[in-house]
Structure 1
Amino acid sequence: MDPISAVSEELAEINGQISDIFRALSNGFQKLEKIKDVNRQSRQLEELTDKMRECKRLIKEFDKEVKNMESRNDPNTNRMLSEKKQSMIKELNSYVAMKKQYQSNLENNKRVDLFDGSNEVYGDDNVLLASSMTNQQLVDKGNQMMDETDQAIDRAKKVVHETINVGTETAATLKAQTEQMSRIVNELDSIHFSIKKASKLVKELGRQVATDRCIMALLFLIVLGVIAIIIVKIVNPQNKDIRDIPGLAPPAMTRRLLWTRH
């Protein structure tokens, strides 16, 4: 069992995190030895530097926790924890020294690359340094930069002009669409008005049809009554309750006079 775990679980957890970082640093520096590209070496060193910062923070946290527990621990435990902290600091300092050595070698390699293979002096972006140029080279370089600036300005103007054209076309399209929407709204209003008017006409026609039906029904009843009277008169002409219908038979007095003459 880890003696630190017997003292404090929190200290054991911090110790475990620091051990993990030390393993990552060891693997990182072994990987750095195999990298040949300068840019990749720089990125690898930055990652290792971040891990060392985190390790330093954890060691400070470990020391703070040890001091808080110092009054509760026996002298042997305090001495063991102090030796553990010193061992952590020593190991971290060894990685810091390795980082400085790699950083120095990396800077030297960059300087060599700057001067290697050419009588002209170039920077990282492959631009001829002004201190090594002649007056004519400076003039030529200035003219070149001015030409590039003019070209960039022309491209910017072209982009602005195209943007204005696109904006104009968009505005025209939006205006046409707005007018079209306005026409559609007007047409919808007209349709709505027509529908209301048609609904009103349908209601009026419905009422008129209902009235006509009532009249037709009344006329039909009258016709039925007349037909019924005619039938009854034909079947039973002696019925006194039903008076003669004008035009169907001659009056009774006329019939008597005709019988009298015979």
Structure 2
Amino acid sequence: MDPLSAISEELAEIDGQIADVFRALSNGFQKVEKIKDSNRQSRQLEDLTDKMRDCKRLIKEFDKEVKNMERRIDPDTSRMLSEKKQSMIKELNSYVALKKQYATNLENKKVDLFDAPANEYGEQNVLLASGMTNQQLIDNGHQMMDEIDQAIDRAQKVVHETINVGTETAATLKAQTEQMSRIVNELDSIHFSIKKATKLVKEIGRQVATDRCIMGFLVLIVIGVIAIIIVKIVHPNNKDIRDIPGLAPPAMNRKLLWSPY
């Protein structure tokens, strides 16, 4: 029978949940070692970070329940519960340090999940396991859990900022793509208009050339007629030039064969 069950069913239930989380963390880190792809490894570490957050919450609930029972339990039981809680914190810190090590190896995290190095946690745990009083152990544990909570919140903030940057980048690329599409459509329209205008200019040029030929022929005819008129006037008796109607010289008076006079 679990000793905690004899003390409190709630404590025993919380302890069981924490043990389940620790098993999940152990199996999760074993999977991380087998994953070669950095993106998949990063996602696995994020899942483990969520589990560590749940573990931290459960340890706080465990500590709260112990505080509620301080007046009803004897000193030996209180010391046993404090040691139990410190053991939980120590195990959680070991996973925290392991998470930081994997995050450093990936070299794709902007901010480490935990600011304090692993050795610092180890030294603190050694002190916790030595001759500290119960209140010192409790205060130290609270401080460590608060630091873990802050580090996890910072990591979550970095993830959200990364997602926002990705969303903004995708929106910018979409807008630029639409703008390029509109520019291409406008260029096609301009090209079509230029071709149409070129064709129209060619047609007008051919029409003008035809009109010029006709005008040239008319000018030549007019010049020829004027030349004939001038020659006819200057040499009215020149028979080589055909008479032009209306410009022929007046006919001479013919004498009648018979005249009374």
Q: TM-score, normalised by structure 1?
A: 0.47
Q: TM-score, normalised by structure 2?
A: 0.47
Bigger relative contact order (CA 8 A; separation at least 6):
2
